[in-house]
């Protein structure tokens, strides 16, 4: 028998989580080649995103000139179009637009005349605070709940947890937030501020009590989703042959869970974390609107109301870029923690 290390078909897991994973398959090239390929793919996705945003904002009906200038003569429209390069061929327009985008020149807000980069910086920090704080709480919480539920599978604890989780996943985050609001800020208790009041020069960190309700709502919305994934993964792992084997070797239950089970649900934890972050980036839109929280989400909502194109473009691009980046990191980490994927490149 030869000592060849034959690798069977690639890992099945992450694709099932509905994530943008393109994990290496067996017999692939070197690790560095795969990493470069993966990064290139991310850039390609971003390029696709930019095309969609460009087409949506620059070419769809709803003439920007008319929109901005109000009632104007055709000559004025033509002048405006020339000024903004709108009379050039589409491809040229796109290339110009992309150049500006990549260099961060988004122009300034039509409504407030604030530089878009400035607005994003200011608001982005607030959103980042909201997202990171929520993620920091919900990731460990969901992993814990999922694991407990899996270990106590089909017992009353599990059934109870399942019902609560199913209930919470179904509810839109703004409904959860509203119910929290009614409960804690208005009628029943009036402990917490109902609306976030953060001055223009301040950041969310200076007003921690403003964050309580929005973060609580986001956590309640995202935990069930990831906890259920974690439970499913843990159950698979606990039913695996290597866990049976560990039991038959007479290992302590604690060792089995910690060493044998947790180690192999790490991939799910990473994918779960990335899912959490992605979910949160979408969830902030309604939450910020409800609490009048000065973040990117509420900025987007008002920009859409006023058709403030430069702001819409920039914010949409920021969100999409965040998605692509989170996904990329998750995939790289997944390969890093999966020996079978990591070592097959050597």
- In the window 304-323, what residues touch another protein (CB under 8 A)? 304-305, 307, 312, 315-316, 319-320, 323
Q: Which residues pair with 108 in a beta bridge?
A: 115
- Which CB, 134 or 286, lies closer to another protein? 286
Question: Least distance (Å) from another protein to the CB of residue 62?
Answer: 5
Among the listed residues 99, 155, 247, 258, the single contact to another protein using CB under 8 A:
247
Among the listed residues 31, 35, 49, 110, the single contact to another protein using CB under 8 A:
49
Those residues whose C-beta lies under 8 Å from the C-beta of residue 319, and which sit 6 or more positions away, are 281, 282, 296
Task: For residue 241, state whether it binds another protein (rule: CB under 8 A).
Answer: yes
Are 237 and 261 contacting, i.e. CB atoms less than 8 angstroms apart? yes
Are 90 and 266 contacting, i.e. CB atoms less than 8 angstroms apart? no
- Which CB, 137 or 168, lies closer to another protein? 168
Among the listed residues 2, 32, 73, 103, the single contact to another protein using CB under 8 A:
2
Distance (Å) of CA 284 to CA 50, 88, 177, 234: 22, 37, 11, 29
DSSP string over 72-126: --HHHHHHHHHHTTTTS-HHHHHHHHHHHHHTT---B-TTT--BHHHHHHHHHHH
Candidates 120-128, 135-143, 240-248, 268-276 — which segment interacts with another protein by CB under 8 A? 240-248
Task: For residue 303, state whether it binds another protein (rule: CB under 8 A).
Answer: yes
Are 126 and 78 contacting, i.e. CB atoms less than 8 angstroms apart? no
- Which CB, 172 or 206, lies closer to another protein? 172
d(CA 72, CA 66) in angstroms, rounded, equals: 7
Question: Least distance (Å) from another protein to the CB of residue 26?
Answer: 10
Within positions 12 to 41, which residues make up the interface with another protein, using CB under 8 A? 15-16, 18, 20, 27, 41
Are 205 and 117 contacting, i.e. CB atoms less than 8 angstroms apart? no
Distance (Å) of CA 63 to CA 68, 73, 113: 9, 13, 20
Candidates 31-39, 78-86, 132-140, 332-340 — which segment interacts with another protein by CB under 8 A? 332-340
Question: Least distance (Å) from another protein to the CB of residue 340?
Answer: 5
d(CA 309, CA 64) in angstroms, rounded, equals: 8
* Closest C-alpha to 107, from 320, 303, 321, 322: 303
Within positions 57 to 116, which residues make up the interface with another protein, using CB under 8 A? 57, 60-62
Task: For residue 218, state whether it binds another protein (rule: CB under 8 A).
Answer: no
Within positions 253 to 292, which residues make up the interface with another protein, using CB under 8 A? 253, 255, 259-260, 263-264, 266, 278, 281-282, 285-286, 289-290
- Which CB, 205 or 247, lies closer to another protein? 247
Task: For residue 240, state whether it binds another protein (rule: CB under 8 A).
Answer: yes
Question: Least distance (Å) from another protein to the CB of residue 163?
Answer: 7
CA atoms within 13 A on the CB side of 140: 4
- Which CB, 206 or 302, lies closer to another protein? 302
d(CA 97, CA 53) in angstroms, rounded, equals: 11
d(CA 278, CA 41) in angstroms, rounded, equals: 18
- Which CB, 181 or 206, lies closer to another protein? 181
In the shown chain, the binding pattern of residues 169 to 188 toward another protein, with x for contact by CB under 8 A and - for none, equals xxxx-xx--xx-xx---xx-
Among the listed residues 28, 31, 45, 110, the single contact to another protein using CB under 8 A:
45
d(CA 172, CA 280) in angstroms, rounded, equals: 12
Among the listed residues 191, 205, 242, 336, the single contact to another protein using CB under 8 A:
242
Task: For residue 339, state whether it binds another protein (rule: CB under 8 A).
Answer: yes
């Amino acid at each position: 028998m030869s000592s060849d290390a034959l690798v069977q078909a690639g890992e099945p897991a992450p694709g099932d989580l509905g994530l943008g994973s393109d994990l290496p398959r067996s017999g692939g090239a070197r690790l560095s080649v795969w990493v470069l390929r993966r990064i290139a793919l991310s850039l390609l996705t971003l390029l696709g995103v930019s095309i969609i945003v460009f087409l949506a904002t620059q070419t769809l009906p709803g003439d920007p000139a008319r929109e901005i200038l109000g009632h104007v003569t055709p000559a004025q429209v033509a002048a405006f179009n020339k000024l903004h390069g709108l009379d050039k061929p589409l491809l040229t327009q796109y290339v110009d637009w992309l150049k500006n985008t990549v260099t961060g020149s988004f122009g300034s807000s039509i409504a407030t005349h604030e530089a878009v980069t400035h607005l994003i910086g200011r608001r982005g920090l607030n959103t980042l605070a909201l997202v990171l704080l929520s993620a920091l709480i919900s990731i460990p919480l969901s992993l814990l709940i999922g694991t407990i539920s899996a270990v106590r599978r089909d017992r009353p604890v599990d059934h109870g947890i399942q019902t609560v989780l199913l209930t919470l996943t179904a509810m839109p985050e703004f409904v959860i937030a509203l119910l929290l609001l009614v409960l804690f800020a208005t009628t029943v208790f009036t402990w917490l501020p109902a609306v976030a009041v953060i001055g223009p020069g301040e950041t969310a960190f200076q007003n921690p009590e403003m964050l309580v309700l929005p973060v609580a709502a986001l956590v309640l919305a995202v935990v069930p989703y990831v906890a259920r994934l974690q439970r499913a993964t843990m159950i698979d792992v606990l039913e695996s042959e290597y866990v049976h084997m560990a039991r038959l070797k007479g290992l302590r239950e604690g060792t089995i869970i910690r060493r044998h089970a947790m180690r192999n649900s790490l991939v799910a934890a990473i994918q779960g974390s990335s899912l959490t972050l992605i979910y949160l980036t979408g969830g902030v839109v309604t939450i910020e609107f409800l609490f009048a929280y000065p973040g990117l989400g509420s900025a987007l909502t008002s920009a859409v109301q006023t058709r403030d194109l430069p702001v819409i473009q920039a914010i949409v691009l920021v969100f999409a870029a965040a998605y692509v980046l989170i996904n990329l990191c998750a995939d790289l980490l997944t390969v890093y923690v999966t020996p079978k994927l990591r070592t097959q490149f050597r």
